[in-house]
Structure 1
Amino acid sequence: MDNKQIKQIVSYYCKKFNTRNPFEIADYLGILYQIGDIGCSGCYMFLKNHRYIFLNQNLSEPEARMVMAHELGHAVMHRKENCYFIRNKTLLLNSKIEIEANTFAAELLMPDELIWEYPDMTLDQIARIAGYSEQIMKFKKL
């Protein structure tokens, strides 16, 4: 899947559900999620024809949104695969599905309008203002 297709998927869900909140989109799509004491930041699982996202309870609010957006990307684009988000590593992985999930998260959490709102700032600065690691911007396409 290319970046343009991912951007279109994100745009579709944002317009359909009138939100960019990954938790709300998951609710609308019937994707179950649970927050608890797990051994990684988050994971997506497809079990018995149901989609589940698990998040680590120790994540900060921005980290939880980022991990949820990433895992939501897996749930939407890689429905039948089980995927694990390893904190501080997934943004560096080169596998196709991890890049796609990171691109989904970047498009969901960093809308073009936010970037246009700060024309004098770098993409890294905008990411930090929004509460995310500047690494997210490596996956953002304008």
Structure 2
Amino acid sequence: MDEIIRKLIRKYKTSCPFELAHELGIHIRYTDLGKSTKGLYYRKLRRRFIVIHNQLSPEWQRFVCAHELGHDRLHKGISRFFLEEHSYFAPGKFELQANRFAILLLTAGTTMEQEETIQDYCLRNGIPPEMQLFSRVRDHN
């Protein structure tokens, strides 16, 4: 996962999930997805889409974009519907991987400052507090 992110950033010279999605030809749409869905990723007629709940804060929209970008990069060809109908895969595993991808992307190029807490580090990098439990700081030593 680290290598995928490193290559994306090197090639497109950004870690912004919105800019990366644009460069990769992924269309971003905003709509009301209800109370329980923050975003989704799907393919239709060889076009790729990230749909983000339009009532989320900018911080959450950025995280959701990075999360759905993780699905695009990590889970090619696997749709939510396939997972619901075929129990060979654990959907939880893919969501955890996409969360981890989002955190690694959004913290790329940064390190924890001395005496900085994980909460402050995540806050500084725009990681919503609810997602902080998925973070594990990179060791750059």
Report TM bin, short chain: 0.7 to 0.9
SS state at 1:127 partner = helix
User: Using the alignment, how far apart are the partners of 1:82 and 1:29 within structure 2?
Assistant: 19
User: Using the alignment, how far apart are the partners of 1:124 and 1:94 within structure 2?
Assistant: 27
* Unpaired runs of at least 5, structure 2: 82-89
1:15 has 2:15 as partner = no
Match of 1:138 in 2: 134
Q: Which has the higher helix share?
A: 1
Change (3 A) 1:121 1:94: farther
User: Using the alignment, how far apart are the partners of 1:56 and 1:110 within structure 2?
Assistant: 23
Displacement of 1:133 in angstroms is 2.6
Alignment of 1:59-78 (within 5 A): 59-78=56-75
Match of 1:30 in 2: 25
Share of identical aligned residues, percent? Answer: 29
User: Using the alignment, how far apart are the partners of 1:95 and 1:62 within structure 2?
Assistant: 23
Match of 1:3 in 2: none
Aligned residues: 127
TM (norm. structure 1) is: 0.79
Displacement of 1:139 in angstroms is 3.5
TM (norm. structure 2) is: 0.80
Alignment of 1:95-114 (within 5 A): 95-111=92-108, 113-114=109-110
SS state at 1:46 partner = strand
User: Using the alignment, how far apart are the partners of 1:83 and 1:74 within structure 2?
Assistant: 10
Return the index of the structure with the highest Cα Rg: 2
1:41 has 2:38 as partner = yes
Q: 4+ residue runs of structure 1 moved beyond 6 angstroms? A: none
1:115 has 2:120 as partner = no
**Alignment RMSD (CA, Å):** 2.1
* Unpaired runs of at least 5, structure 1: 1-5, 85-92
Displacement of 1:124 in angstroms is 1.6
